[in-house]
């Protein structure tokens, strides 16, 4: 019975995540550990157009895990909100590195990174990376 239950669970999880258009885990008190776990299912979120992960406890660890899951995933995503977390320079640089890849969120129009801990150089790295694709905007303040 266990293999059948696991197969059905996997099929259901894939189906649910694949159909979600808006994913809102904002203000959930998520920690880096939660972001690391969520990053594992990000590739399943093929229909997601808006991802809200704002006002949590994400630091560089969680942001880096999320950034590593981005290339080739979230192909329909238009808006990503990570405002109000604790993301510092390392997390911003990881996000910038992911955004430089053409297969990373090709439909993305807006990324909001307000109220985080990164310095001006890390913010500039994200701004430069997001500008690679015309029409994209990054909001820091």
pTM flag (> 0.85): yes
Q: Is 24 within 8 Å of 54 (Cβ atoms)?
A: no
pLDDT band at 45 (very low <50, low <70, confident <90, very high): very high
User: What's the pLDDT at 14?
Assistant: 85
pLDDT band at 141 (very low <50, low <70, confident <90, very high): confident
Q: Per CATH, which fold does 2-139 belong to?
A: 3.80.10
For residues 113 and 84, give the distance between their C-alpha atoms in angstroms, rounded to a whole number. Answer: 7
Averaged pLDDT for residues 62-72 = 97
Burial (CB < 10 A; 0-12, 13-18, 19+), residue 40, is exposed
């Amino acid at each position: 019975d266990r293999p059948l239950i696991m197969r059905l669970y996997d099929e259901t999880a894939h189906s649910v995540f694949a159909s979600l258009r808006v994913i809102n885990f904002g203000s959930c008190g998520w920690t880096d550990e939660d972001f690391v776990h969520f990053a594992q299912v990000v590739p399943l979120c093929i229909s997601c157009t808006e991802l809200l992960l704002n006002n949590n406890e994400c630091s560089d660890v969680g942001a880096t895990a999320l950034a590593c899951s981005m290339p080739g995933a979230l192909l329909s995503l238009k808006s990503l909100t990570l405002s109000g977390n604790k993301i510092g320079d390392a997390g911003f640089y990881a996000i910038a590195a992911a955004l430089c890849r053409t297969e990373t969120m090709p439909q993305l129009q807006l990324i909001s990174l307000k109220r985080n801990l990164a310095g001006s150089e890390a913010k500039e790295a994200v701004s430069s990376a997001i500008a690679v694709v015309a029409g994209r905007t990054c909001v820091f303040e």
